A and B are shown apart, each in its own frame.
Chain A
Amino acid sequence: MAGQTLYDKLWQDHLVKSREDGTALIYIDRHLIHEVTSPQAFEGLRLAGRKPWRRDSLVATPDHNVPSETAERAAGVAGIRDEISRIQVQTLDENCKSFDVVQFGINEPGQGIVHVIGPETGATMPGMTVVCGDSHTSTHGALGALAHGIGTSEVEHVMATQCLIQKKMKNMLVRVDGELGPGVTAKDVVLAIIGKIGTAGGTGYAIEFGGSAIRGLSMEGRMTICNMAIEAGARAGMVAVDQVTLDYVKDKPYAPKGSQWDAAVENWSRLHSDDDAVFDAVVELRAEEIEPQVSWGTSPEMVAPVSALVPDPAKEADAGKRTGVERALEYMGLDAGQKITDIKLDRVFIGSCTNSRIEDLRAAAAVAKGRRKADSVKQVLVVPGSQSVKAQAEKEGLHSVFIDAGFEWREPSCSMCLAMNADKLGAGEHCASTSNRNFEGRQGYGGRTHLVSPGMAAAAAIAGNFVDVREMADAGESA
Chain B
Amino acid sequence: MKAFTQHKGLAAPMDRANVDTDLIIPKQFLKSIKRTGFGPNLFDELRYLDEGQPGQDNSARPLNPEFPLNFPRYNGASVLLARDNFGCGSSREHAPWALDDYGFRAVIAPSFADIFYNNCFKNGLLPIALDEQVVDQLFEEMYAQEGYELTIDLEKQQVIKPNGETIDFEVDEFRKHCLLNGLDDIGLTLEDADAIRAYEARRREQAPWLFDSVK
Hey, which bits of chain A sit against chain B, CB under 8 A? Answer: 16-17, 19, 21-23, 25, 27, 29, 36-37, 39-40, 43, 48, 50, 53-54, 56-59, 64-65, 82, 84-85, 87-88, 91, 102, 122-123, 125, 127-128, 133-135, 148-154, 156-157, 160-163, 165, 167, 199-200, 203-204, 230, 233-235, 254-256, 260-261, 263-264, 267, 299, 320-321, 323-324, 327, 418-420, 427, 437, 439-442, 445-446
Contact = CB atoms under 8 A, between A and B. Distances in A.
Contacts of A19: 174
Given A151-B118, A161-B186, A440-B22, A122 B196 contact: no
A342 B20 CA distance: 28
A233 B32 contact: no
30 contacts: A16-B199, A40-B33, A56-B213, A65-B31, A88-B33, A125-B210, A133-B91, A150-B91, A150-B115, A151-B92, A152-B35, A153-B119, A157-B185, A157-B189, A160-B186, A161-B189, A161-B190, A200-B84, A233-B85, A233-B113, A233-B114, A261-B209, A264-B207, A267-B206, A324-B18, A427-B51, A437-B90, A439-B22, A441-B45, A445-B26
B93 A127 contact: no
B151 to A, nearest CB: 26
B214 interface: yes
B199 to A, nearest CB: 4
Contact of B93 (A151, A163, A235): A151
Given A134-B91, A445-B51, A102 B207 contact: no
Contacts of A235: 114-115
B18 A199 contact: yes
Given A85-B31, A102-B214, A440 B90 contact: no
Given A162-B200, A439-B20, A151 B213 contact: no
B34 interface: yes
Contacts of A200: 18, 84-85, 88, 111, 113
A437 B89 contact: yes
Contacts of B203: 27
B107 to A, nearest CB: 15
A162 B196 contact: yes
Contacts of A160: 186, 189-190
Interface extent on B, as a size class? 35 or more
A429 to B, nearest CB: 14
Interface in B54-92: 54-55, 83-85, 88-92
A375 B113 CA distance: 41
B212 interface: yes
B89 A135 contact: yes
Contacts of A255: 209
Contacts of B172: 21-23, 167
Nearest to B51: A445
Interface in B162-215: 172-174, 177, 185-186, 189-190, 192-193, 195-196, 199-200, 203, 206-215
A150 B90 CA distance: 10
A48 B186 contact: yes
Contacts of B45: 440-441, 445
Contact of B207 (A48, A127, A167, A440): A127
A25 B88 contact: no
Contacts of B114: 203-204, 233-235
Contact of A320 (B83, B189, B196): B83
Of B16, B114, B203, B208, chain A has the most CB atoms within 10 Å of the CB of B114
